[in-house]
Amino acid sequence: MRSAASENVRTLPAAGSTAAEPQTNHWPRNPGMDLDLSWALDTRVNLSAGERRVATLPGRRTVKKDAQAAWLLKAVTCIDLTTLNGDDTTERVKRLCAKAMSPVRQDILDALGMGDRRITTGAVCVYHRFVAAAVEALQHSGIPVAAVSTGFPAGLTPHHLKVKEIEASVADGAKEIDIVITREHVLTGNWQALYEEMKDYRAACGSAHVKAILATGDLKTLRNVARASLVCMMAGADFIKTSTGKEGVNATLLVTLVMLRMIRAYEERTGFKVGYKPAGGISTAKDVLNYQFLMKDELGREWLEPDLFRIGASSLLADIERQLEHHVTGAYSAFNRHPIG
């Protein structure tokens, strides 16, 4: 059976675009720029307009049936499949890596007409302790290992130790580093300190891409979120990311809108594309579709690929696989039939 979903994946979400397999566009890395404090401090956020924008999103954009299956397959390729628990073990990480290499069951892919396509998650995200094990488990898969670093999740360890942690993860084979900023710099308006900190992290990463976690739930205001986004991009962040997943409030569509507008402004000013990663609280297929719609509306088609869009998640994959099975069988299955690792 070759479903029309395979054709929808090829044209997701606009005619002429590519399949659900991970796509590497090799955009030039963001080199950063000198700190422009006037730009950051002049940035304002229209709260009521932003709230109206995200409130109307679910009603304005929707996809059904084959088209929805195509969007969800695309979302799978953008997931940073994550385990960041105190009881993580090497065996759990290996199982997670196995799931990252085969995130959707083969019978579901066959029913969708996608059985011959190689679909994987965007990356596997772990603590430094498990980087080497993940790199070994993912050998020859092409899936990068992302390491959380810089005293994740609080980011309050001494600065020189944060830099050493980055260097250690890169030495163990991590190709991406998710750093956490010092929230105090934002809350006290010490933008120079945030800029210098981010510059140090970028330098320590070397060729590894760096995602700056803003911990937006701790930053109190959307204005702080906007300014922190700009300063981190000025310092060379390859991605800006909402949350560690450990804060009381993690990714939201409103925070996402603000961060996407800053990414757009940065590209307009510098010509460099910066990626975006929402993390924490995105656990259902319905959730991720709204993020995808917002990404495409605000930034364009390029930001639906894993080199510019990642989703920090674990249970999300199980729900996407469950929705895809419902699409091809007409029946919902139990979550325990869709393990994530």
Amino acid at position 18, single letter: T
Say if residues 168 and 149 touch (Cβ distance below 8 Å).
no
Q: What is the DSSP letter of 144?
A: P
- Please identify which of the residues 80, 178, 218, 319 carries the catalytic annotation: 178
Active-site residue 178, yes or no?
yes
- Please identify which of the residues 74, 99, 175, 241 carries the catalytic annotation: 241
- Please identify which of the residues 74, 211, 273, 277 carries the catalytic annotation: 277
Say if residues 145 and 133 touch (Cβ distance below 8 Å).
no
Say if residues 92 and 110 touch (Cβ distance below 8 Å).
no
Diameter of the chain by CA atoms? Answer: 60
Q: How far apart are CA 133 and CA 173, in angstroms?
A: 10
Say if residues 341 and 81 touch (Cβ distance below 8 Å).
yes
Neighbours of 106 (CB within 10 A): 10
Q: At what angle do helices 285-299 and 253-270 cross, to 10 degrees?
A: 30
Q: What is the DSSP letter of 301?
A: G
Termini Cα distance of the chain: 29
Q: How far apart are CA 171 and CA 134, in angstroms?
A: 13
Active-site residue 246, yes or no?
no
Active-site residue 199, yes or no?
no
Helices vs. strands in the chain: H and E counts, helices first: 15, 8
Exposed, middle or buried by CB within 10 Å (0-12, 13-18, 19+), for 121? Answer: buried
For residue 52, report the phi and psi dihedrals to the nearest 5 degrees: -65, -40
Q: Which residues contact 107 (CB under 8 A, 6 or more apart)?
A: none
Report CA torsion sign: 299, 305, 309, 313: positive
Q: How far apart are CA 12 and CA 67, in angstroms?
A: 8
The residues assigned a catalytic role are 178, 241, 277
